[in-house]
Amino acid sequence: MEANEQLLLCTEEGSAQAQRLFEEVIALEPDFSRGYSGLALCYAIEANSRGRGSAFYNEQRARAIDLAQKALSLNETDAINHAVLAYLFAIANQHDKAVVRAERALALEANSFLALSFSGCALMYSCRGKEALAVFEKAERLNPSYPFMPIYLSWVYLLLGRYEEAFEQAQKAVERNRQFVFGQFVAQCLLAATCNLTGREAEARAAARKFLDIYPNFSVERFRNNLAFKDNDQIDLTMNALRKAGLK
C-alpha cells in the first residue's frame, strides 16, 4: 500500500521509494502478484522518463513486461495485473494486445483507481478516445488530485478533436505537476499545442518561449518519436501545432 502511494505521487523520489518497497514485497512474499506488477510499473515509468529508442528504454520495458506477465501468471483474477500489462503492451505499440488486457481489467474491477488509470492509458494510446475518456473521468472522480490525470485527459480530448477541453486540462496539468520533471515537461508541451489549436496564438508563442527557456534542446520530432499512439495522423496534428507555436 505504501509503495502504491509513493508511485502515485508522480515524483522521482516517490518512484524510487516505490521501487525499493516493491522489491521488498517480492523478497517477503515471492508469490504475491502485486509486487511484480508494481515493480513493472516502476521500470516502465523510469524508462519513459528517459525516452524511447535507447538501449536503456528497451531493456527496462522488456524487464517490465516480463514482470507483469509473471504477476498475471500468479493471479489472473487481479484487475491491476491485467491493467499494468495493458499499459506496457500499449507503450510497446502492441495495441491490440493492450486493448484485450484493458477490457479484461475493467471487467474484473470497475472501481479500482489503478486499474482504471492504466487501462485508460492503454485505450488512449490505442486511440480508443471515447472509451478512454469514460474510464479517465471515473478515475478522476476516485482520485481528483492525481498529477497525471489532466495530462491523460488533455491527450484524449486532443484525440477527440475537443481542443478547448484539451486546453483546460493542459492548464490543470501544469499546475498539478510542479514537483515532477517529466510530468511538467509533457504538460508544458500540451499547453503550447492546445493554445495554438484553440486560436490562442500569442499565448502559444509565449508558452513555447517559456518552454524553451527550460528545455533549450527540445525537438518536436524526438518528442513525437517518444509517443506510443496508434493513430499517427491525429498526433501529427498536435506536433504541427507545436511547430506553429515556435518549437522545432
- Amino acid (one-letter) located at 79: A
pLDDT in tens, 201-231: 999 999 999 899 888 999 999 899 889 999 8
Task: Find the angle CA(18)-CA(147)-CA(52) to the nearest 5 degrees.
Answer: 70
pLDDT in tens, 46-59: 887 777 767 777 88
Q: Is 169 exposed, middle or buried (0-12, 13-18, 19+ CB in 10 A)?
A: buried
pTM: 0.93
Report the sign of the C-alpha dihedral through residues 174, 178, 57, 25, in that order: negative
Q: Looking at residue 221, what is its pLDDT? A: 92
Cell numbers placing 175: 499546475
- Amino acid (one-letter) located at 66: D
What distance in Å separates the CA atoms of residue 220 and residue 212, rounded to the nearest whole number? Answer: 12
What distance in Å separates the CA atoms of residue 155 and residue 138, rounded to the nearest whole number? Answer: 16
Long-range (24+ apart) CB contacts under 8 A made by 64-68 are 64/40, 64/88, 65/40, 65/89, 65/92, 67/36, 67/37, 67/39, 67/40, 67/43, 68/36, 68/37, 68/40
Per-residue pLDDT of the chain (248 residues; tens, 9 = 90+): 999 989 888 777 888 999 999 999 999 999 999 999 999 999 988 887 777 767 777 888 899 999 999 999 999 999 999 999 999 999 999 999 999 999 999 999 999 999 999 999 999 999 999 999 999 999 999 999 999 999 999 999 999 999 999 999 999 999 999 877 888 999 999 999 999 999 999 999 999 998 998 889 999 998 998 899 998 887 899 999 999 999 99
What distance in Å separates the CA atoms of residue 32 and residue 48, rounded to the nearest whole number? Answer: 26
Could you tell me which of 143, 71, 142, 62 has the C-alpha nearest to residue 101?
A: 71
CB–CB of 101/122 below 8 Å?
yes
